[in-house]
């Protein structure tokens, strides 16, 4: 998840205003949510399909088209070439570019794992919880990623599985011969392997043990357990990273990097490409034939496409970062007012931007806040269910 910094302030203002009115695009009503309430049923009052049906499904198709293109670009950059140069897999395997040694590549792998464990614990789960504890109930709900689909817990658990895959060099039942875990075991550090894998398992189990859906149970004690587990995982991974400088054996270390790319990164991104191609077909069918059944099929395809993305978040480096593909595909929070303007106008040109990516560029940030997985989620889901043509 790439937080859209430019819009955080704007949406915070919008949420503050929303908490005062049942008629705005908000959750209702914050003054009935006593401090410490664990289980609150929250009803959305957002844009309705019936109010924008002329452009609704065409907007969804425009978003899914760009998701498909971004996923193709990402896979191609790793597998074939980046910006007219060599494939990023070659840069990484051959220790070129920003990488000075195989050790630096392995540090990059672990840094990606540290980053996502921290993001899940401190931002994705921790930020809504902090807002809740400060009685900012509406803001807390709006801070929950994937809250339209009630898919948050699955997303967060898959984020941690991306760490599991990176550390053990495994994906969908395929295991690489060389991994960070195997290196530790072969060099008398099997206890650290066990610590990392135990922390990963505990984090996954704690996240999946949170009361569901997360957006309706932010105050539940199970949330604190998940935050603690993610923080513990982050600390164990930092201990692991501190060991990497002492890793020896260039050929062995390069084999770890090569298997990581071949077994984990490329297959994950291939699945992302293929799933987003299928998602676009489902949304095109929705646009051509808007029915409850085609809404449901598109929502199912969205969930399938979401899985490989969330399982790639332990390696948000290289092309996904350099080309701005993370915020293109996964910016959060959204600018819901801008989304409604697109729905009203049917003008989809604002979804695109040109030139080199610059995360400080407000024009790029504006485009990214009205496209990607979460805009499509907004268009396909309501209260955790596929939208229906009458709402």
User: By the 8 A CB rule, do 104 and 95 touch?
Assistant: yes
Question: For residue 346, is pLDDT > 60?
Answer: yes
Q: Could you report the per-residue pLDDT of 49-84, keeping only the tens digit for each?
A: 989 999 999 999 999 999 999 999 999 999 999 778
Q: For residue 10, is pLDDT > 50?
A: no
Q: What is the pTM of this model?
A: 0.91
Q: 134: domain CATH number?
A: 1.20.1420
Rg (CA), the chain: 21
Q: pLDDT band at 368, cuts 50/70/90?
A: very high
Convert the pLDDT of each residue in 170-226 to its tens digit. Answer: 999 999 999 999 999 999 999 999 999 999 999 999 999 999 999 999 999 999 999
Domain of 339? 2-32+41-386
Average pLDDT over residues 112-127: 98
Domains contained in the chain, number: 1
With 0-12 / 13-18 / 19 or more C-beta atoms within 10 angstroms meaning exposed / middle / buried, residue 381 is buried
Any domain includes 325: yes
Domain membership of residue 391 (yes or no) is no
> Is residue 204 within 8 Å of 163, Cβ to Cβ?
no
Mean pLDDT value across residues 313-332: 96
> Would residue 369 count as lying in a domain?
yes
Q: For residue 252, tell me if it sits in a domain.
A: yes
Taking the chain, what is the end-to-end CA distance rounded to the nearest angstrom? 28
Q: Name the average pLDDT for the chain.
A: 90
Over residues 18-50, the pLDDT tens digits come to 333 332 333 433 334 543 444 444 445 568 898
| 366 — pLDDT class (breaks 50, 70, 90) | very high
Q: Is residue 196 included in any domain, yes or no?
A: yes
Dist CA 89 CA 82 (whole Å): 10
Cβ-based neighbours of 310, under 8 Å, separated by 6 or more: 154, 155, 156, 158, 159, 162
Residue by residue, DSSP assigns 18-74 as HTT-SSSSSBS-GGG--TT-------B----GGGSHHHHHHHHHHHHHHHHHHHHHH
Closest CA relative to residue 236, chosen from 391, 118, 340: 118
Q: Which of 4, 38, 23, 3 is nearest to 137 (CA)?
A: 38
The confidence score (pLDDT) of residue 24 equals 33
- What pLDDT was estimated at residue 36? 43
Whether residue 111 is contained in a domain is answered as yes
335 is a domain residue: yes
* Confidence at 352, pLDDT banded by 50, 70, 90: very high
Residue 7 has pLDDT above 80, yes or no: no
Q: Pick the residue with more confidence: 82 or 134?
A: 134
Residue 357 in contact with residue 323, Cβ under 8 Å? yes
Residue 46 inside a domain? The answer is yes
Classify residue 148 by its DSSP letter. T
Q: How far apart are CA 287 and CA 291, in angstroms?
A: 9
């Amino acid at each position: 998840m790439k937080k859209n910094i430019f819009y955080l302030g704007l949406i915070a203002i919008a949420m503050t205003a929303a908490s005062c009115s049942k008629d705005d695009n908000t959750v209702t009503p914050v003054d009935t949510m006593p401090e410490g309430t664990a289980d609150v049923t929250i009803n959305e009052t957002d844009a309705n399909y019936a109010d924008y049906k002329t452009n609704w499904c065409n907007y969804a198709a425009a978003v899914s088209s760009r998701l498909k293109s971004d996923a193709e670009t990402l896979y191609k950059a790793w597998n074939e070439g980046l910006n007219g140069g060599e494939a990023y897999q070659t840069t990484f395997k051959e220790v070129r570019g920003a990488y000075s040694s195989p050790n630096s590549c392995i540090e990059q792998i672990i840094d990606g794992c540290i980053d996502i464990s921290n993001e899940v614990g401190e931002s994705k789960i921790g930020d809504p919880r902090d807002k809740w504890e400060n009685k900012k109930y509406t803001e807390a709900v709006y801070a929950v990623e994937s809250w339209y689909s009630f898919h948050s817990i699955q997303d967060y658990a898959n984020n941690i599985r991306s760490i599991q895959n990176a550390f053990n060099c495994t994906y969908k039942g395929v295991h690489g011969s060389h991994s960070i875990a195997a290196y530790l075991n072969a060099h008398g550090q099997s206890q650290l392997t066990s610590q990392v894998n135990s922390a990963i398992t505990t984090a996954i189990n704690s996240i999946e043990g949170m009361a569901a859906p997360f957006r309706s149970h932010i105050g539940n004690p199970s949330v604190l357990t998940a935050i603690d587990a993610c923080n513990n995982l982050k600390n164990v991974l930092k201990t692991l990273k501190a060991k990497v400088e002492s890793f020896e054996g260039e050929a062995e270390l390069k084999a770890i990097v090569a298997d990581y790319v071949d077994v984990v990164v490329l297959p994950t991104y291939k699945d992302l490409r293929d799933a987003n191609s299928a998602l676009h077909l489902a949304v095109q069918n929705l646009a051509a034939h808007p029915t409850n059944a085609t809404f449901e099929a598109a929502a199912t395809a969205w969930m399938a496409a979401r899985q490989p993305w969330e399982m790639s978040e332990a390696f948000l480096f290289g092309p996904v970062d350099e080309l701005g593909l993370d915020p293109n595909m996964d910016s959060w929070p959204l600018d819901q007012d801008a989304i409604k303007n697109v729905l009203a106008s049917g003008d989809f040109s604002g979804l695109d931007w040109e030139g080199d990516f610059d995360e400080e560029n407000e024009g790029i940030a504006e485009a990214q806040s009205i496209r990607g997985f979460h805009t499509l989620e907004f268009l396909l889901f309501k209260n955790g269910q596929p939208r229906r043509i009458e709402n």
